[in-house]
Amino acid sequence: MTTTDDHVELVAELVRVLETRLLDPLEILLASDEPLGPIRERLRVEAEVWAAQLLGADRERATLTAARLIGALFPGDAPFDPPTSWWRTALGRAVARATGHPAAAAVSYATAGAMLGITRQGVHDLVKRGKLDRHPDGGVTTSSIRDRLNRSQESTRATTRPDHQ
């Protein structure tokens, strides 16, 4: 279940990444941050919206938002392949819930562990027990990781609702 703290953490991270990846280079090119004031404020508001979309119950909207953010913030000619540590960030966790891995059908056990917030051995145990799907070419399917993240979120949500006590 996502909390207000999750939302606040994700907004702060989005603002940091937007500043570093978009606004700082513009400030260098323009030799001033003065024209960026209105853009900076708008991006802060949008970060709130994007965080709500990424953490919300609408999986399609979360997936589209994740794709837009990754495309804009992490451009490149190669498929998106962040380091394992990225999956432990607020944005990485939100993307994992929304899409699994946006550019891979399967990931290593270490990456799967980072996406799930558990150890590599924990991933191995979940695969062995049939709780995660092993990919025929090795590793773990990203769809099973995404499904597990969303299933645990849904079960937490169901057990904390007043009508389920």
Q: What pLDDT score was predicted for residue 165?
A: 40
Confidence of residue 154 (pLDDT cuts 50, 70, 90): low
Tokens for 160?
Answer: 């904390």
pLDDT tens-digit profile of 10-68?
Answer: 999 999 999 999 999 999 999 888 899 999 999 999 999 999 999 999 999 999 999 99
pLDDT at 161 over 50: no
Q: What pLDDT score was predicted for residue 155?
A: 54
Q: What pLDDT score was predicted for residue 163?
A: 43
Distances (CA, A) of 6 to 9, 29, 156: 5, 34, 15
The residue written with tokens 């190669």 in the block is: 78
pLDDT at 133 over 90: yes
- pTM of the full predicted structure? 0.84
Q: What is the mean pLDDT of residues 86-113?
A: 94
Confidence of residue 96 (pLDDT cuts 50, 70, 90): very high
pLDDT at 117 over 80: yes
